[in-house]
Structure 1
């Protein structure tokens, strides 16, 4: 989403359109605000927008003080009139709110945890310019447009296109910075359920193998013998929950969070996820997508310090797969 799109989304939610069809917000600097930098002043008056976004507006000439465009470092005086003004948005790359149904597992003023459906892309990407979970989230939480990355507002971690289950979104800049820190510190616990081919000889094990992009097939990732410039440390823990005829149900916990990590690691030990056309067999027909579900999230709330545990119910297609395997 462009910065112009950010501002339009915000103003749509706050009804700040002028009669000429422009978007405008006007503030008068008060006595206690004199001497403040322009970006700090704006961040206090518009708390839904991060200071970096407001600084970008100033760089693009969208902020005027007494009718003159000023930069983010400009010092304000009492009585200054500060304006944010923007022509009508005409942008093809903006992320627009879309009325798409999704299940909310937990929400408050800072964060939302939702149950992503399989086949729903988390954020716009090549081939998925609209109809994503972010588009849906912006429809319910317009303030999320100003949080985090320009192209991935509110997103602090991701799930693969065909992976279902619990995913966290930040609704405020405060929550975003803290959740990103928790992810990096590995303090958010993520537990998955996976149906895999075969019977695993070790019922409880850890897979500790670096992962990087497959040089022979860029869509895939693969394991490497050691961490290097093209691979990163990756650790996956699993427990066997049930065994069937040539198949197993696993509980999987991530210690790191690399792209396709669970799928790559399980395939590397000879037990690909059921339905995984990229890493397993294209002949799997019982389920239309890979049988991987983000079932559980545990974290300490970034603002109040309370423990949050959220579970996403097993989706119907995976329940049907398990029923078929049990009855073989």
Structure 2
């Protein structure tokens, strides 16, 4: 591995960040005059009076293109634009959702998240998340966490379709201390992925800046490491198994940029199998006859990015004991690897 130095910047989680949401409302010709904060609370689903007033104070509410005060009385045909830093959300509620708890003490839990589970509520996924399951599991002690943030106890995050280990704090003190470990890069995190092709050399360090794409704000892009765009991103990789057309790669994060591993593997020409956003679902022709059907079948077997948060190592926030955990590959990744190995063996002996 190459040596690398990184500025001590704030830790950013791997999962996509919430984008500001802009809403435009056209007041009816027959609307009865009323205060704008009351009107917006009535008109915008899940918006609270406090959030609306906060937006007004920060000049994120414009009427006919100009900021107004909370006591402004709307008029017929007014055009109102409001920008929410986070989309208005319903109150987070406990839900009895099964979760796989690897470890638990009075301060924290380590959960092996299944692929397909959203970590915290966001636009389009207000229920059925890991956060809802956490509130139910903690029960009466959940009152020590702040559900208004929609991320009770969540120190870091994983993409919806990434499986594996995630740390959950059970009280504010533990949350603060664990977050500090992430910010100071004292948490060791190792992922495992199935990628297209075999990286050469078999180990190395990927250094780029990562920031939102200028063409598509939902996608992260790589920029020059010392350039002005994006923030430093550093990933170590190691090929653990060469499968000729694919490989199993171990990845160690030294920064926590959004979609870092997925963007970095695309950057070196070895996207993660199944990753639709970052080039991993492109049908490719392999070096044997009828490979097209094999690849199509493989992508059906792996409908998500084949990425798993395999190992965690950190300090218990109260006792300072070093805690280490690992989670085996999920069934879909194991099944996919079995198919690749079987076909590879048959081709080598044909």
Q: Same fold (TM over 0.5)?
A: yes
Instruction: Establish whether residue 300 from structure 1 lines up as the match of residue 315 from structure 2.
Output: yes
Take 1:95 and 1:230, find their aligned partners in 2: how far apart are those partners? 36
Q: Report the equivalent of 2:198.
A: 199
Take 1:92 and 1:224, find their aligned partners in 2: how far apart are those partners? 34
Instruction: Establish whether residue 315 from structure 1 lines up as the match of residue 312 from structure 2.
Output: no
Q: Is the 8 A contact 1:192 1:296 kept in 2?
A: yes
Take 1:145 and 1:267, find their aligned partners in 2: how far apart are those partners? 42
Q: Is the 8 A contact 2:205 2:236 kept in 1?
A: yes
Q: Report the equivalent of 2:105.
A: 108
Question: In the TM superposition, what is the alpha-carbon distance from 1:225 to its structure 2 partner?
Answer: 1.1
SS at match of 2:325: strand
Instruction: Establish whether residue 178 from structure 1 lines up as the match of residue 204 from structure 2.
Output: no
SS at match of 1:318: helix
Q: Is the 8 A contact 1:145 1:154 kept in 2?
A: no
Take 1:150 and 1:157, find their aligned partners in 2: how far apart are those partners? 14
Map 1:209-248 to 2 at 5 A.
209-226=208-225, 230-248=229-247
Q: Report the equivalent of 2:120.
A: 123
Change beyond 3 A, Cα 1:174–1:268: same
Q: Is the 8 A contact 2:191 2:251 kept in 1?
A: yes
How high is the TM-score relative to the length of structure 2? 0.66
Query: Which moves more between the two structures, 252-261 or 220-229?
Result: 220-229
Q: Is the 8 A contact 1:146 1:153 kept in 2?
A: no
Question: In the TM superposition, what is the alpha-carbon distance from 1:151 to its structure 2 partner?
Answer: 2.2
Question: In the TM superposition, what is the alpha-carbon distance from 1:300 to its structure 2 partner?
Answer: 1.1
Q: Report the equivalent of 2:268.
A: 269
Q: Report the equivalent of 1:147.
A: 145
Q: Deviations over 1:29-81 (max 9, x none)?
A: xxxxxxxxxxxxxxxxxxxxxxxxxxx9xxxxxxxxxxxxxxxxxxxxxxxxx
Q: Which runs of 5+ in 1 are unaligned?
A: 1-55, 57-90
Query: Which moves more between the two structures, 226-235 or 124-133?
Result: 226-235
Take 1:228 and 1:201, find their aligned partners in 2: how far apart are those partners? 25
Q: Is the 8 A contact 1:273 1:292 kept in 2?
A: yes
Q: Is the 8 A contact 2:238 2:249 kept in 1?
A: yes
How high is the TM-score relative to the length of structure 1? 0.70
SS at match of 1:140: helix
Change beyond 3 A, Cα 1:144–1:313: farther
Question: In the TM superposition, what is the alpha-carbon distance from 1:138 to its structure 2 partner?
Answer: 0.6
Q: Which runs of 5+ in 2 are unaligned?
A: 1-49, 51-87, 284-298, 344-350
Q: Is the 8 A contact 1:115 1:167 kept in 2?
A: yes
Question: In the TM superposition, what is the alpha-carbon distance from 1:120 to its structure 2 partner?
Answer: 0.2
CA RMSD of aligned residues (A): 1.8
Question: In the TM superposition, what is the alpha-carbon distance from 1:202 to its structure 2 partner?
Answer: 0.9
Q: Report the equivalent of 2:76.
A: none
Q: Deviations over 1:89-133 (max 9, x none)?
A: xx9711100011010001000010001000100000011000000
Q: Report the equivalent of 2:342.
A: 327
Take 2:263 and 2:183, find their aligned partners in 1: how far apart are those partners? 21
SS at match of 1:285: helix
Flag the structure with more relative contact order, 1 or 2, with Cα contacts below 8 A and sequence separation at least 6. Answer: 2
* Number of residue pairs matched by the alignment: 239
SS at match of 1:168: strand
SS at match of 2:340: helix
